[in-house]
Structure 1
């Protein structure tokens, strides 16, 4: 049966959707949706085709928006998205994961909620927020946010989260108990002798490779890493990259050794494309070597950044790769990252990019 791909875009002024057939020669833009709320993350449920968008701010509060007709109509709910009396109020939803018939939501200040009724209501998973290391968590530049939400194929109880600036945590029991998994990741901003703490790392993005469910990649404030044991141990794979600093990472949908990154020029030198020349960096061997993919991308005056959730792949063959910029452009590759073209421009600041492949 014919397929089409939806590129789901979260922006500072609502949700947008780029739509194309399986050939992906041309994209049609729809939106803005979600009443132009600030939207941090938009995801699609592969099983049902439902689209969820999480966002909010101090003015609106947190909420999750929902569309069951591929974006034509939307509803939203914030029921249950609250901490107890006397605690810091939740500002926004930052990350979503729709899998195993449930919806997980990561929020700011960092915490995790779950919905068993398709986003109509949420309940806290307090084990993470009650972790003994909680007093040592400190906000990163965007706040104390839970921005990465990863679940394992075939096991709904395995969950990994990334929190800035606390690190990576793992649960093997569906979120009841958690353990830090940061061994080997640096925190260069800490005092000398304290750069490898158990918690306190500024993780930027965590993604799970296809396959066994144990291969993870992590873009950190202080380097790029791979783990082959579910995050118990990490080792650096940044050699060959133009910078150790960046935000997003995206895995190939079928090849666990193939990864895409967008390094920036550094954390204190502008946070834009190195030499103002845009490139997506790719590895085909798990990070042993890297190559820069530039064809079709601007090679002068590219002073834009790409945020932590704004790089994604689709599941078609060959795989599509997409990223969104802080200046409102979406770039698309339909040949697994070899060549690129601009698929949309002049959007609001782009917070996230995800994909959903559905029957046409």
Structure 2
């Protein structure tokens, strides 16, 4: 009888830890489906934030700048470094080239007049400091949403990085001009017009080798501007 009790006690001591360990394993296994479901939900939520290409495709080249009609978010303009200017009126479903008849196809900037989005300003000449970029021939202005264009000067700027329109005075416009690559001279720095592009004033002249790529206006005070220069 004593031998039988000792044998049963020994069996209990040997197999009891295995049972507990197995139970713990089952619990861990039961938690995995919940974790998988949580990860799946996170993936589904993040998948809705993925970017997708909406064009323009084939010949657009590098996208340099974009501006959206503040009165119609489905209409916007896309400036391409080597692929001219494109316009969509259906949120990017289709794009139309609207600058093909001009003498320059290299874009540096596109800006809509905030008070009248039919007025579009374009700076030609790609705004990248590389040896293979193509220069432009100044600033262009359209008053009919890109149907027709007028060259407004600054033809020696060659590369325009930004255009800023005064929010309360559409005739006052600033242009950040880089000038010729790997050479001195040209039209560089920041220029301002107060008559819609008929005449230009050189308001920031740093040096013969230094131009401006970017230009930003303080949203609280349109008289305060910040320019980014590059030599």
Could you state the TM-score of these two structures normalised by the residue count of structure 2? Answer: 0.63
Equivalent residue runs for 1:130-279 within 5 Å: 134=156, 144-165=158-179, 166-182=188-204, 185=206, 187=207, 200-221=209-230
Please say if 1:103 is aligned against 2:130: no
Compare the two structures and name the one with the higher strand fraction: 1
Compare the two structures and name the one with the higher helix fraction: 2
Distance 1:110 1:65 in 2: 18
Query: Which residue of the partner structure matches residue 4 of structure 2?
Result: none
Query: Which residue of the partner structure matches residue 68 of structure 1?
Result: 89
Aligned 8 A contact 2:65 2:110 in 1: yes
Query: Which residue of the partner structure matches residue 125 of structure 1?
Result: 152
**What is the CA distance between 1:68 and its match in structure 2?**
1.1
Query: Which residue of the partner structure matches residue 79 of structure 2?
Result: 54
After superposition, the Cα gap between the structure-2 partners of 1:77 and 1:47, relative to the gap in structure 1 and judged at 3 Å, is same
Distance 1:47 1:148 in 2: 22
**What is the CA distance between 1:32 and its match in structure 2?**
4.3
Give CA deviations for 1:58-99 in whole Å, capped at 9, x if unaligned. Answer: xxxx522111111122111224422xxxxxxx2412110012
Deviates more, 1:104-113 or 1:73-82: 73-82
**What is the CA distance between 1:121 and its match in structure 2?**
2.7
Q: Any idea what SS the aligned residue of 2:70 has?
A: coil
Distance 1:110 1:148 in 2: 15
Distance 2:142 2:151 in 1: 9
Aligned 8 A contact 1:81 1:113 in 2: no
CA-atom RMSD in angstroms:
2.4
Aligned 8 A contact 1:110 1:163 in 2: no
Q: Any idea what SS the aligned residue of 1:28 has?
A: coil
Aligned 8 A contact 1:110 1:146 in 2: no
Distance 2:109 2:91 in 1: 19
Aligned 8 A contact 2:122 2:141 in 1: yes
Greater C-alpha radius of gyration? 2
Distance 2:87 2:229 in 1: 31
Query: Which residue of the partner structure matches residue 139 of structure 2?
Result: 112
Could you state the TM-score of these two structures normalised by the residue count of structure 1? Answer: 0.41
* Runs of 4+ off more than 3 Å: none
Q: Any idea what SS the aligned residue of 1:155 has?
A: coil
Aligned residues: 162
Q: Any idea what SS the aligned residue of 2:219 has?
A: coil
Distance 2:210 2:76 in 1: 31
Distance 2:92 2:54 in 1: 10
Query: Which residue of the partner structure matches residue 225 of structure 1?
Result: none
| Structure 1: gaps spanning 5 or more residues | 1-23, 83-89, 138-143, 188-198, 223-360
